[in-house]
Amino acid sequence: MAAYSKLSLTALFITSSIIWISGNGILPLLPVYAGSLGASNFEIGLYLAFSYACLAIGAVITAKSIHSQHAAKQIMVISGALAVPITFCVGQAHSLFELMAFTSLIWMLGGAGFSALNSLVSGFTAAQHRGKIMGALAITSPLGSVIGGGISGPIVDIWGFDALFLTLALINLLWPVCAMFVKTSQPTVLDFDITSSSQKTTLLRWSKHALHLNHLSWKKRLILATSFSYMAYYVALLATSITMKDAGFSATDISSTAIVGGLAAIPFIYSISHASDALGRKALWVFCNLVGAVALLLLSMAETLLTFWAVAFMIRCLSSGSRSIGSAWVADLYDHTAQPNNLSTAQSDTANPDIANPDITKATSNQKRTGLLGTEEKALALISATPWLGGILGYLMYGSASLVFSSSHVLMVAAVVPLLSIGLVFPIGFSPLASANPLTKAS
């Protein structure tokens, strides 16, 4: 496989960090901002759910439109350029409607940027190192929390929300600039030496089987499981902000949960990514979701700042673990179930009848997995939209349920959601590098 240069990986890392600084810098305070404009808890939930729907729309539209690495880079640059003035406008909102409009636009651009970024980095590392690369990018999320949370709370307490969004707009200038330094790979054309019609027929039959019979099941399971994990995460995130706001905590105290969660999560992400390469994705997925379930139960009883910090750390483990493990897991499974898009690997794995067909005799040694249909890049881009889908569901769940039930009861019910995520991934094989087909039969 081709490998990115250090310059490109550094540019992607910085770009991802910039997006997360803006996102995580304002997210804990958005309920406070909306509340200052007269929004109720139910309206805050609807506002955030709509904003995340726009995030998902941006990510999905981008995923559908990506046809090459060059196109993904263009989307990153354009979305970053548009994000600068719109970020400034968020701070000029005078009503909930204006806040919703500007937030939705900026988050739609953020969804497009993340989807394009995920496509740029996918498929360019060996499977045994993929968790480390995805984990390195996942670190940008808590890093953004540390930086964004560190500046957002004090700025709001001293100068107000308009000053905060002016600062974030200036920071966002680095987004399109860094994206321009990413070097994209050239499109690869398949080069087969198929000397008989029977070989061609065998290839087409096997391609249809791999692409349409195998990968759909695990892809749906991973998308649903990741969405449930993020649903639990965003329920906890919104509940933390609203509970602290109602209890009289300052903006600095509320944003400090982002700092603490980010600082604690950075070493966790690094270790969980390495461990998933060695122990398998499923075992670590179960661990992260169990931590998330415990965090929701703890949040239902939280009253002190120290308890909110502990919850912030635990839910960050859930979200960051899901991000790094989920992306690596998708790419792992494409190694086994979508090999028509990586026929050089298929040729080397002819000993496994579930992976390759021995009638495929010659393929280019540098073939990347986007040859026939580009399915892996699009699958990874779609996986990058699951946090936003989880956000929609999580915000709607908490906002709607809070009309009828107390926050503690809503959180107790939400603690079941990570357990549903665990149940969904059990039919998928344990090892990311299994020699056989990684899909196991559901019991």
Given this model, what pLDDT does residue 233 score?
93
Instruction: Taking the CA atoms of 120, 125, 128 and 132 in sequence, report the sign of the dihedral they define.
Output: negative
Contact status, residue 381 vs residue 330, Cβ threshold 8 Å? no
Closest C-alpha to 411, from 302, 321, 262, 265: 302
CA dist list (Å): 345 to 1, 58, 192: 9, 33, 13
Q: Which residue has the higher pLDDT, 191 or 229?
A: 229
Alpha carbons 243 and 164: distance in angstroms, whole number: 22
CA dist list (Å): 147 to 17, 308, 324, 374: 9, 19, 20, 36
At 411, the amino acid letter reads L
> Does 345 score more than 70 pLDDT?
no
Instruction: Taking the CA atoms of 388, 389, 390 and 392 in sequence, report the sign of the dihedral they define.
Output: positive
Q: Which residue has the higher pLDDT, 265 or 376?
A: 265
Given this model, what pLDDT does residue 196 score?
40
Within 8 A by CB and 6+ apart from 334, the residues are 123, 215, 341, 342, 369, 375, 376, 379
φ, ψ dihedrals at 439, nearest 5°: -85, 125
Alpha carbons 330 and 438: distance in angstroms, whole number: 11
Question: What proportion of the chain, given as a percentage, has pLDDT over 70?
Answer: 71
Q: Which residue has the higher pLDDT, 405 or 183?
A: 405
Average pLDDT over residues 391-419: 91
Given this model, what pLDDT does residue 172 score?
93
Alpha carbons 235 and 394: distance in angstroms, whole number: 5
Locate 194 and state its tokens.
């198929």
List the beta bridge partners of residue 439. 428
Element (H, E) at 344: helix 343-348
CB atoms within 10 A of CB 39: 19
Alpha carbons 21 and 169: distance in angstroms, whole number: 11
Alpha carbons 391 and 49: distance in angstroms, whole number: 6
User: How confident is the prediction for the chain on average, in pLDDT?
Assistant: 76
Three-state secondary structure along 164-211? HHHHHHHHCCHHHHHHCCCCCCCCCCCCCCCCCHHHHHHHHHHHHHHH
Specify the CATH number of the domain 6-183+206-425. Answer: 1.20.1250.20
Alpha carbons 280 and 431: distance in angstroms, whole number: 4
pLDDT tens sequence across 196-219: 444 334 333 333 333 333 444 667
pLDDT tens sequence across 373-402: 345 555 665 666 677 788 899 999 999 998
> Does 186 score more than 50 pLDDT?
no
Sorted by where each begins, the domain ranges of the chain are: 6-183+206-425
194-208, 219-233, 265-279, 345-359, range with the lowest pLDDT: 345-359
Closest C-alpha to 84, from 7, 12, 171, 183: 171
Alpha carbons 364 and 380: distance in angstroms, whole number: 24
CB atoms within 10 A of CB 21: 27
Alpha carbons 194 and 203: distance in angstroms, whole number: 9
pLDDT tens sequence across 16-73: 999 989 888 788 999 999 999 999 889 999 999 999 899 888 887 887 787 777 888 8
> Does 323 score more than 60 pLDDT?
yes
SS3 289: helix
CA dist list (Å): 271 to 125, 243, 330, 432: 18, 31, 19, 16
What's the chain's length in residues? 443
DSSP-derived secondary structure letter, 29: G
Locate 89 and state its tokens.
């406008």
Q: Hey, which of 121-130, 184-193, 244-253 has the most confident mean pLDDT?
A: 244-253
pLDDT tens sequence across 99-150: 999 999 999 998 898 888 877 776 455 555 555 666 677 778 888 889 999 9
Alpha carbons 153 and 255: distance in angstroms, whole number: 5
